[in-house]
Structure 1
Amino acid sequence: MRVNSMRRAAVVVAGTALLSVSALTNTALADPAQGEYRQLVGVGSDTTQDVMNRHGSLSVDSNGIPDKQLIASYDATGSVNVKTRRSKCSLPRPNGSSAGITALVNDVAAGTKCIDFARSSRGPQDTTTTDLTFIPFAKDGVTYAVRKDSGLPKSLTKATLVKIYNCQTRKLNGITITPLIPQAGSGTRSFWLKQMGLVEGSLPSCVTDRAGAVQEHDGRALTGAGDIMPFSIPQFISQANAAKTKVEDRRGAAALGKLDGHVPVFNGVLNLKFPITRDVYNVVQTSRLGISSVKSAFVGKTSQVCVNGAKDSVRLYGFGKAANCGSTVLKGKS
């Protein structure tokens, strides 16, 4: 009788926890609540912040019971500082992949243990060491966005797009084009510049981030008829489905463009045949890969971000499946 009672109690606890997780789908997913501290702290990429917030809310322990204490994902924008631990650990909020990776590197160097992983929409830029491991968990795609009420074409070739960002094509349909890029520290910025054949520090004169005012994946930056900017396709999908994803709809008047005849969205998620795609990552200190919390969250196909429930979350937020989800092969210094 005692064993049966214990089993019934376990079922009640599990059911209650599951209801708590379900309730989260009715509230916005953002930073952990003030005063709530978890095992693994992540900062960085705007591109993956929402799906990682979702993963944090749906984490489970080794018995399959929901465990909200594993992953804490802090948004790229919000308050100036974030407090990630109960004592100390109040730090400037990193905005973007590179900013998150830099914050992680600095935290490791200082030994403060305020940050455990960085969300990143780019791979390593410096591979002179293996200090960091870039662990893929989903597939992203990037296209251009223009205002839906603009006369700029809603379908381009990549070759034309490259000419636009190299200031070789300055007008289309009689409209002067203003090529925008996201704020410094954005992984999408560095990824997009590479796709356009450009190098940070020597950008063509027509390319601008408007003194840092262009936040990645925020269509409200498209204020003029000639404005054009890169936009994560899953981020656009996620924002369009704000009623389900519980994220802020920042699309404004943005409309995604076709590229080389490929539509960016297919069956409600990223079109995996789209010409510009990339893996997105959680970046951790390589020496910590064997730590149980890190391993449980990110490492291997059975990790929290790769298992079946996580795949459903990835699809909900518009991303594609990463064939190499949980792989620890890709390493770098920054």
Structure 2
Amino acid sequence: MNVKSRVRLGAVVGAAVLSVGATAGSAVADAPSPRVLAGVGSDTTQDVMNAIAEVVDGGATIASYNATGSATIKTRVTGCDDVIRPDGSSAGINALNSDVDALHGCLDFARSSRGPVDTTTQDLTWIPFAKDAVSIAVREDSALNNNLDLTTAQLHDIYTCDLTTLNGVSLTPLIPQANSGTRTFFLGKIGVTEAQLGTCVGTMQEHNGVELDSAGDIAPYSIAQYIAQVTQVANDRHGATVLGKVDGSEPFTTEGKLNTSFVYSRDVYNVVPTKKVSDGDATITATFVGVSSKVCTATDAGQSVIEKFGFGQISTCGATTLKGER
């Protein structure tokens, strides 16, 4: 993989928690103790799943561990070694897959902002629960923020380092960390493989706008995460970033909500072992499966938690048709 050594991990300001005074059902940094279902993975959906976890069964069922934090997490009171914390969708899916193969029973689901990339088996089931989209972020005080509307072709050339300046600014493109679902999704949308990624591209923790600290910085960003950050229902780490258009598509509606028709829109998922779905595991089914599942119907003070955290609702919430290996 050709990735520039200018890595900016670790620039997150503060812990991934809400400010004092957050309302009930808002995100927490991590599950305070092991619970019935343990999940890991995506940075994109960690905050909304933390909030859903606090609503579902009064916080007794779902333990959703953040993508970053302590090196390890403890998912069971007894019977399980500490789990190395997975950072990103692919890392979470791989950890779940390994746990299933080894019959450990220490993980129950993985958060994912991408669909399956390996369908050689049907060991895992991707259960969609919300709509997101990925736009492009730049600093508000940069000349790049001048009617920013990039085409897919331009983004392809930026991330292969064939387009190196824009609006008189030397570009310093950033891409989310390895194992990020947003990284996989975004590269797929702009038609760039990992092997084609240019040496001018640096890495960052996804959706951490604080890491865009120079005028030429440009990075993919979850629109739902951005909304949750600027409305401060999630830890506000958007820094000085703003989101631009892609192929003429606006990231927000006139009401400031996610434009679910954005050109790079995507479903987000909770991934579970297929056998637990096919065997009718009562807790997995009640929590994740079907439009009436606890995740799909979670509300906080009468408001959909999914929408509160910037995501869009989908008619296919809880579907179990999408299966794969990784």
TM-score range, shorter chain: 0.7 to 0.9
Which of 242, 247, 268 is the aligned partner of 1:280?
Answer: 268
Select which of 228, 237, 244 maps to 1:238: 228
Amino acid at match of 1:204: G
Distance 1:126 1:309 in 2: 34
Residue in 1 that maps onto 2:14: none
> Aligned equivalents of 2:226 and 2:26: distance in 1?
20
**Distance between the aligned counterparts of 1:297 and 1:28, measured in 2?**
18
Whole-Å separation in 2 of the counterparts to 1:284 and 1:74: 15
Deviates most, 308-317 or 221-230: 308-317
Task: Determine helix, strand or coil for the equivalent of 1:102.
Answer: helix
Alpha-carbon distance in 2 for matches of 1:132, 1:28: 26
Equivalent residue runs for 1:1-334 within 5 Å: 25=24, 29-33=28-32, 36-60=33-57, 67-87=58-78, 88-152=80-144, 153=146, 154-209=148-203, 214-242=204-232, 245=233, 247-266=234-253, 267-289=255-277, 290-307=280-297, 309=299, 312-334=304-326
Contact 1:166 1:196 in 2 (8 A): no
The answer (yes or no) to whether the contact 2:291–2:315 under 8 Å persists in 1 is: no
CA contact (8 A) 1:219 1:250 kept: yes
Relative to structure 1, the CA distance from residue 182 to residue 120 in structure 2 (aligned partners, 3 Å threshold; closer, same or farther) is same
Shift in Å, 1:27: 6.9
Bigger Rg, structure 1 or 2 = 1
Once residues 133 and 28 of structure 1 are traced to their aligned partners in structure 2, the CA distance between those partners, rounded to angstroms, is: 25
- TM-score norm. by structure 1 comes to 0.85
- Once the two structures are TM-superposed, the CA of residue 25 in structure 1 deviates from its matched residue by 2.3
What one-letter code is carried by the residue in structure 2 that aligns with 1:29?
V
- Please give the alpha-carbon distance, in whole angstroms, between the structure 2 residues aligned to 1:110 and 1:202: 35
CA contact (8 A) 2:172 2:216 kept: yes
Residue 176 (structure 1) shift: 0.9
- Counting aligned pairs with the same residue, the percent is 51
Q: Deviations over 1:159-211 (max 9, x none)?
A: 322222222221111111111101001000111111121112342222221xx
Paired residue type of 1:274: F
How many residues align? The count is 298
Contact 1:145 1:230 (8 Å CA) reproduced: yes
Rounded to whole Å, the distance in 1 between the matches of 2:197 and 2:27 is: 37
Structure 1 gap ranges (5+)? 1-21, 61-66
CA RMSD of aligned residues (A): 1.8
Offset at residue 76 of structure 1 (A): 0.4
State the SS of the aligned residue for 1:269.
Answer: coil
Conservation of the 8 A alpha-carbon contact between 1:135 and 1:283: yes
Which has the larger helix fraction? 1
Q: 1:140 is paired with a residue of what secondary structure?
A: strand
Equivalent residue of 2:96, what SS? helix
Query: Which stretches in structure 2 are left out of the alignment for 5+ residues?
Result: 1-20
Residue in structure 2 matched with residue 63 of structure 1 by the alignment: none
Q: Does structure 1 conserve the Cα–Cα contact (< 8 Å) formed by 2:164 and 2:170?
A: yes
Alignment match, 2:12: none
Runs of 4+ in 1 over 6 A off after TM superposition: none
Letter in 2 for 1:164: I
Q: Aligned to 1:78, what secondary structure does the other structure show?
A: coil
